[in-house]
Amino acid sequence: MRFLAAIIGVFVFIGAIGYGLSLVTSREHEVIETVEVRVAPEQSPLSGAISDDLLATKLTRPLNFDESVKSPWKWQENEVNISNSVIKLGLDLVDGEKEPVFTKIFPSAAKVREAVAGIEKGEASLIPSASMIFAMGREFDSGVLGALDLALVDGKNDAKIGLVDVVEKIFNKLEKTDQVRTFLAAALEIAGRKVDVFPEEVVRRNIWLNRYRNNRRVASPPVDFYTWNDDLVRAYDVETFLQDEFPKKQWFMAAQLARTLAKEENADLLRQYRYILEAFDLIYLPRRVFTIDDLTNFKLVGDESIMDMFRKRAGMHYRIMFLPPSWRREQIHFAEMLPMGVHAGLDPISELTQRSMIGFISFIPPSGRPGLEQYQAMALDALLAEKPTIESDKVLFTLPYKERLINPFFAVTKKVVDPNRYMQATTWTPTDEAKISPKLRIEPMPMFYLRSARAYNYMFRAASAILGPQSIRDVKRIMPNGQRSEKPLFDDLRAIQRLFYGLYMITCEDLGAAPTFESVDDVNREECYKEATDWLAHAFDSPEARNDDRFISPTIDVRASDKKNGDLLFLTWANLGYQLLKTSSSFVPERGPQIRGTQPGAIWGSPEASKLGESHYLLPILRFKLLELVSRGSLAPKEFREICDKYEGDPDKVAEALLALPPPEIDRSKVEEVTPQEVEASGKKKRQELPEQAAPPKK
């Protein structure tokens, strides 16, 4: 199952949010004034529509004092309770010339730790951001899906059903005159399994092979985990080949496959094919294309019958494939938002952010069950939409912090678009331990951590269904170096599930809120909390923290209206690495903490306002950039990272270098597509040709 590598995210979602997606481009503005180099958010999509959070308007639900929700830390030997407290979280601007560490882009979290070793002493604490945690989870996801991919392709599951075996069995059941034999023969050769074809079929098989190897494979090379070892490259090739649509002129080949699978004597083979499709659905639902199985259900015999099927299934793309495509979470976001594609002049991140915040779109499926990527999309949605959550009640965000959440494209710039919005760099002083201030261990985004934990709960169930109860204890996750994890998937998935539940519990504790769980949550609180605290102890020193997190996603859409020298421009986005931010937090005086001594009979009371202080944090966030590529659907990770190194992660220079890459040498023959207009026209034509007595009665 092709896990199209890409965030969060839409970390609008994750970058957007702080976090990991950030399909955002820098807008051109008139330069009003030139100032010293600063690190500051650029003009965001919703600038003017947002402002500092205010307690009077943000706090919509009562916060009651709960004596049982005590903080794990003390202040001057006093117990602390912040169950009815509210904290303020702000973004501090820095002088990039005096503090150059904040202007650099780092390839890994471990490199961030090395760079801030001096700053961290006494002045601020380095804590994981939601986007850093997203990057860690994304790599884990990729390793799991790589393992599932290989198990499904090669039949390493309890059912002993493999994609390549199923393709070969279907090939052997076809009629000798079926032209689709050459398509399956090409797929098998790509998978490394040769089958005998008739002499007259050799040319047609080679046409399929050349079309893939010299066209799609050149434009869209393996990305993300498919580059981790040779077996995954093979899985990528066979799946990508079978995910290519049948052009309209070759629908008859799809019908030949459907006719073969629909035969009564091939019922077990059809069951095995459906097993493969259902495994894809567990990951990539909702499915938006037609497969050969749909044709068997409709008992199709010709093009007109296929048009009938299209008309009866509204909301589907008019495409027929042997395997459905692998929808990445960010693609789900944008398919939901812009079903007709991204057009020239449209700022996709602005559209996505605004529509999610006002509730115009939702990533919670309206009906049916979601797949894993849909679950992950729901987790990212928690970072965007302003809903009644723990963080909405317990945290007031300043305007700069909110702009970062909405527009993750931060810039080191000498341009100021509006002098009235210019803010001076913040001078930090060491945290005054004599004053009481919030103690954060991770960026406080509890709903994101909770939804992610539930997504891993689903991933465990999906992997169990795909592999079976025995194989999930044998198959192991694949690592970026191409080797296997020491633990089987059963243990790995349980551990990361505990980790995210634990991170949720820790951030609830940091905010003074009691964690709440539902029936879907499988939680041993003590084990989950320990898993999270153990991870936090080495979050920046672990092998995962040393991995290079820079990547480029596959294209999200084709900008058909934008051309460069006659070539199509493909819209994509990339993570350029980590950038450090300065953040600060303090208690809102009207909602300060409660303290009491440890002596018997001590009562809770509020400290004087003069005793309230400020704590400082260094937050590494993923830096994303919206990109355009000429006639290519992606770029190999190694080539992309070399470009990032050459230009030291400078977003604009990297974007210019990528746009300047020569188009890949591919066969430019167009695939004939079917449009909704054609389907409707076909239906009208058919109704006009019906005999008078066949027309439906008038009401």
Q: CA-CA distances (angstroms) from residue 547 to 104, 340, 696?
A: 18, 37, 65
How would you class 105 by CB atoms within 10 Å of its CB: exposed for 0-12, middle for 13-18, buried for 19 or more? Answer: buried
Spell out the SS3 assignment of 56-82: HHHCCCCCCCCCCCECCCCECCEEEEC
Rounded to whole angstroms, the Cα distance separating 574 from 622 reads 10
**DSSP output for 503-544:** HHHHHHHHHT------TT----HHHHHHHHHHHHHTTTTSHH
Of 584, 586, 581, 585, the residue nearest 619 (C-alpha):
581
Q: Which long-range contacts (CB under 8 A, 24 or more apart) does 563-568 make?
A: 564/630, 564/659, 567/630, 567/631, 567/663, 568/630, 568/631
Residue 93 CA, distance from chain mean position: 28
Collapsed DSSP state (helix, strand, coil) of residue 88:
strand
How would you class 34 by CB atoms within 10 Å of its CB: exposed for 0-12, middle for 13-18, buried for 19 or more? Answer: exposed
What is the rounded average pLDDT for all residues in the chain?
A: 78
Rounded to whole angstroms, the Cα distance separating 205 from 176 reads 14
Collapsed DSSP state (helix, strand, coil) of residue 496:
helix
Low-confidence ranges of the chain (pLDDT < 50): 1-46, 358-361, 366-367, 384-386, 388, 408-423, 687, 689-699
Residue 102 in tokens: 């904040």
- Let me know: does 287 contact 278? Beta carbons within 8 Å: no
- Let me know: does 612 contact 588? Beta carbons within 8 Å: no
Of 230, 187, 175, 231, the residue nearest 212 (C-alpha):
187
Per-residue pLDDT, 41: 46
Q: How many CB atoms lie within 10 A of CB 75?
A: 19
- Let me know: does 74 contact 436? Beta carbons within 8 Å: no
Domain borders along the chain are 33-127+380-467+479-659, 138-329
| CA atoms lying within 13 Å on the CB side of residue 447 | 20
Rounded to whole angstroms, the Cα distance separating 642 from 451 reads 35
The stretches of 427-488 forming alpha helices (DSSP H) are 446-467
pTM: 0.83
Q: Which long-range contacts (CB under 8 A, 24 or more apart) does 517-522 make?
A: 520/454, 520/457, 521/453, 521/454, 521/457, 522/457, 522/497
Query: What phi, psi does 622 have (nearest 5°)?
Result: -70, 140
Rounded to whole angstroms, the Cα distance separating 304 from 251 reads 11
Cis peptide before 286 (omega within 30 of 0): yes
How would you class 335 by CB atoms within 10 Å of its CB: exposed for 0-12, middle for 13-18, buried for 19 or more? Answer: middle
pLDDT in tens, 118-140: 675 556 889 999 889 988 888 89
Rounded to whole angstroms, the Cα distance separating 355 from 337 reads 8
Beta-bridged to residue 569, according to DSSP, are 559, 630
How would you class 566 by CB atoms within 10 Å of its CB: exposed for 0-12, middle for 13-18, buried for 19 or more? Answer: exposed
Per-residue pLDDT, 23: 25
Per-residue pLDDT, 38: 39
Task: Convert 495-529 to b/e letters by CB count within 10 Å (16 or more is b).
Answer: ebbbbbbbbbbbbbbbbbbebeeeeebebeeeebb
- Let me know: does 91 contact 400? Beta carbons within 8 Å: yes
Rounded to whole angstroms, the Cα distance separating 688 from 674 reads 21
Rounded to whole angstroms, the Cα distance separating 146 from 582 reads 36
Collapsed DSSP state (helix, strand, coil) of residue 269:
helix
Collapsed DSSP state (helix, strand, coil) of residue 567:
strand
DSSP 174: S
- The helix (run of H) or strand (run of E) holding residue 583 is strand 567-587
